[in-house]
Amino acid sequence: MKNKNGVTLIELIVVVSVIGILVVALGFSFQGWMGKYRVESQIKEMYTDLMNAKAGAMQKNRMYFVTLTTTQYTIYEDTNPAPDGDENPTGADRLVLQKNLNPTDPITWNGGAQINFTKKGLSNVDKTICSNKDVDTDYDCIIISALRVNTGKLTTRIPQTGICNADNCVAK
């Protein structure tokens, strides 16, 4: 009787083919997961920065201004004229934070491109900020009202409807 140790060429080809199929399938799954992660991470960072601006306004008893573009947001503290500002955004106010967003994951919002937090931490506008990306994440919008800032999930994707408002964003 012959001892058959080793692997045949057919067995080797089958194993390599199965591994190749798994690598391709997991690669596509990983790409989708990374897209969702980027959008959710960006929304959560923006939420944290908005909450910090709101808290800073109350703590320092000064207005804070947040300006939005599709790929950037900037937060200013009202310091001009010294010491407590004039409750109007000017170019001489103190820059607190300027954050560039991922250009492949832009945002959109309803209403004007500025949010003011009063000395009491109240917002001057009701606004919804949404991710413009067509991915299904747990958090892809922010609802801002006079008293609260909440994260939420869009009920209908923005690229499909173009609607970014509080009715389309369910707070979590």
Q: What pLDDT is recorded for position 1?
A: 54
Asked if residue 160 belongs to a domain, the reply is yes
37-62 pLDDT, tens per residue? 899 999 999 999 999 999 999 999 99
Q: What pLDDT is recorded for position 112?
A: 87
Total of domains in the chain: 1
Non-local CB neighbours of 75 within 8 Å, separated by 6+ positions: 49, 52, 53, 64, 65, 66, 95, 96, 97, 98
For residue 116, give its domain range. Answer: 34-171
- 123-151: average pLDDT: 92
CA distance 22 to 150: 39
With 80 as the cut, is the pLDDT of residue 160 above it?
A: no
Asked if residue 39 belongs to a domain, the reply is yes
CA separation (Å) from 18 to 8, 24, 25, 38, 137?
Answer: 16, 10, 11, 30, 31
With 80 as the cut, is the pLDDT of residue 135 above it?
A: yes
User: pLDDT band for position 151 (50/70/90)?
Assistant: very high
Amino acid at 169: C
Q: Using an 8 Å Cβ cutoff, are 164 and 128 in contact?
A: yes
Asked if residue 118 belongs to a domain, the reply is yes
Asked if residue 127 belongs to a domain, the reply is yes
Percentage of the chain beyond pLDDT 70 is 92
User: pLDDT band for position 153 (50/70/90)?
Assistant: very high
Share the mean pLDDT of the chain: 88
Non-local CB neighbours of 115 within 8 Å, separated by 6+ positions: 50, 65, 66, 68, 123, 124, 125, 127, 144
Give pTM, 2 decimals: 0.81
CATH of the domain at 123: 3.55.40.10
Percentage of the chain beyond pLDDT 90 is 53
Asked if residue 17 belongs to a domain, the reply is no
Asked if residue 54 belongs to a domain, the reply is yes
Asked if residue 154 belongs to a domain, the reply is yes
Given the DSSP bridges, would you call strands 149-154 and 127-131 parallel, antiparallel or unpaired?
unpaired
Q: Using an 8 Å Cβ cutoff, are 142 and 50 in contact?
A: yes
User: pLDDT band for position 29 (50/70/90)?
Assistant: low
